[in-house]
Structure 1
Amino acid sequence: MTDPLILPVDIPTLALSRGVMQMMLGGLLLYIGSRHADSPGARWWAIGFLLNGLSLFVFPLQVPAAWEQPRTIVNHLSVGTSSICLLCGFWTFGRQPFRRGLLLLLIAMPLTSLIAFELLWPNARWRILLTAGSQAIFLLGLQHSLGSPRRVELAVIGQRLRVVVLLFLAVHLWSYGSLADVLPTTARLNLGYHRTIFSVASLLFMLSLAVGCLALQFALLAARSADLARIDWLTGLLNRRGFFHAAAQPAASDSARATLIALDIDHFKQINDCYGHAAGDQVLQRLANLMRQHARPDQLLARLGGEEFCLLDSSQSPINARQQAETLRQACAETTVRVGTDDVRFTISVGVHQQGPGQSLEQALARADGALYLAKRSGRNRVAVDELSTDGRHGATPVGGAVCVDRLDISDIGVLFAKIQSQAIYLGTDRGVA
């Protein structure tokens, strides 16, 4: 006498319900994905859930004997293709390369099971086990893909999905291990319990996977919204908020001696007054493009406000920064911006400062601004360097061997004016202001 089933579940009805639910989830993913920037990944997910739902939908249907074999073929091939689509969705979403060999294996195994154990040597047990083996490989591939999130904001969701995948993989191996008679008798259960546990586990897994896909899309959308709040809409560079946020990240804050280059467009108000604000916007965009061309990938570029820009490097020396600033200054002076029938020329003034021990980023930026202010007062279209002197004080060092101001203190503007008026300070060549 068999033990009564504690959880009486109608397996065909449960399979049919799972199929309908997964097709509905596929439709939901398709709808949301069509309104999302990463719609290709969502479309792959949607197709995967629709195909998996189709495989479950046809499984419990009562069909004539002549339709048994076509139903089996649809069931197995739908399982294989749904696994391919789901993996392609995660690879597309995560911007990971497609592993064509794995995709070929996922469809080859159920296809081989149909040819070998459905058509040539009918054996339902081995047919099911071979297709189930492809599902185990799919779960391992999914586990690997989730371990490489495209953004740090998605890492937590990926980690939780990996736990779900591992749990279901254990149930999957237990279930089909029992079918293959490779497990000890103590690990086997009554057939009713076996089917119930596996069906419920499959339902929960696919539901969790669908929720995870939705969560990944919404988390990416939230991360991009945060990015937009840190990006200057006109130039595409970081804004002030984004600059300080990026500078506080471990990769940018490892070095306590960061070098800052502060830039400002000379007579920018006159450009707006003479040629219009649209021309001024084009000049700002051109300067941003020149900064990108003359910067390394690891340097932070920002528009701090108006016509003021900044470049931060966590590893470069003031000498190299000064050379970079001078190269950028020359490039700007030689650039022409076409505005209608007019050619607009512009120049920049630049201040360079290396962050000192115990100096905050705000203080270092103020120093770079002070050097920039000195370059402005010295005739514009110049580079000034505020660097640490031998006595531990900061001083403004000109480019080109001109007179050096002993101590640049932006809090004492009167003293600075007096020194500028009493000495001819030249910090580079003056090519005029556009």
Structure 2
Amino acid sequence: MAQPEGQPDIFDVVIAGGGYVGLSLAVALKTADPSASCAIIDPKPMDDLHKDPRASAIAAAASRMLSQLGVWDTLKEKAQPINEMIVTDSKLRDSVRPVFLTFDGETTDGEPFAHMVPNGLMMPALYEAAQKLGVVFFAPGMAETFRTHSNHVDLVLADGSELRTRLLVAADGVRSKLRDLAGIRTVDWDYGQSGIVTTVKHERPHLGRAEEHFLPAGPFAVLPLPGNRSSLVWTEKTADADRLVRSDDFTFELELERRFGHHLGTLEIDGPRRAYPLGLKLAREFVKPRFALVGDAAHGIHPIAGQGLNLGFKDVAALAEVLVDARRLGQDVGGMDILERYQRWRRFDTFQMGVVTDVLNRLFSNDIDVIRAVRDFGLGLVDRMPKLKSQFIKEASGFAGPVPKLLSGEPI
């Protein structure tokens, strides 16, 4: 097996997966430690990153990290701040949806707790930053298998070439092939739900307000985008979601109006609609010798709290800090003592969020009157407790628990 020409004999870190998490990890490492050698392998070409029509909710802590990585100023110009959030709970046939819970959209000093950022801007910005910093790309490229030795990992690509690295990081998604090859088991189950994702135009402005409507089939989230546009994350039973995605525009828009309502005027679909199966998948371990999981490869959770991508950014900030500190002390970045620090930092927080989203989904995705009465009483109680609401905002902003430096807006 041949090593690609012109590459170092051994990389410090090789990342399998060139999505948000993989790219931001490479940029974080190279920004803090330019001498570190880093490579990214991804099965898709990097030239198509700008074509993703979706948008992502970026918590305040994650935007601080992106600022430290030198890309937030570009993204902020076209990002939509979330100024307010409301929560309703109703049946689909209800003509009135009372608001049980409201959140102001600020953390401290007028900083919004989240922004909606177009994926077609964020991915190219991270890719460009990685290129400028000297990250090596094998894209398109597929990681086929790997073998761990005492002081390195040999990674074999689909074309037969081989890379050698001190640490292999799997950022290859919820169906991670490398996680399975590493023998890491998962806790997982299927919710029998799918999330329909699309974008709509509406007649009246949203004023930066996000909405979460708890309906019997699952949460229906409306997230503001620049202009009179909003991103939807619409949860339905899988069979119903598949039927809706395949339906004609008239049927789809009719069902959409029943859930969206008419408070923003006339609606118009403004992008493709896709359905993604929803489930819970948590890795039992985040690390093995010379191997680490980040992002969806480590955890796939329900989108009910909008924290999936932000959990991945927390992984990035924690792992980058651990690895950079190790290199500055002359330690081996692939050593288990180093990787265990990352695992202790991130595993409990991830499991906690997985449990919270699981409980919330089960509590709110039903039409049982007794349960509805109890949860609505609880939402109303929270709405009257400013300190508890502030804690929820802190959690949603990404500032709860021990926060890595990048998420606090500090360089590593």
TM-score if structure 2 supplies the norm length?
0.26
Q: Which has the larger radius of gyration?
A: 1
* Structure with higher RCO (Cα < 8 A, 6+ apart): 2
Select the structure that is richer in helix: 1
TM-score if structure 1 supplies the norm length?
0.25
